[in-house]
Amino acid sequence: MVEGVARISNPTGLHARSASQFTHFTNKFKCKIHLVQDDVISNAKSILNVLVLGLEQGMDVTVRVDGPNEKNVLKEVINYIETLED
């Protein structure tokens, strides 16, 4: 398992449409991907799990990846979060 930190840059945070786009992106990977915020661990492949974190612009979120090609997947997920725009 590998982990890293991403900062939410999207002005609307990771809510509704952006969370839907994000989970669609994460579902293309075979590994397990989780987001961790304030000791709450959420499955990054589930829109409801992502929305429950209430991620807003400027917040940091920990990304955990476990599985095939995890280092590259971690980089891609962090990049996606940090460059996501509505």
Q: Exactly one of 3, 4, 15, 52 is catalytic; name it.
A: 15
The values of phi and psi at residue 4, to 5°, are: -155, 175
Distance CA 71, CA 28 (A): 15
DSSP character at residue 2 = E
**Catalytic residue list contains 24:** no
Q: Amino acid identity, residue 80? A: Y
Give just the sign of the alpha carbon dihedral 30, 72, 11, 60: positive
Annotated catalytic residues are 15
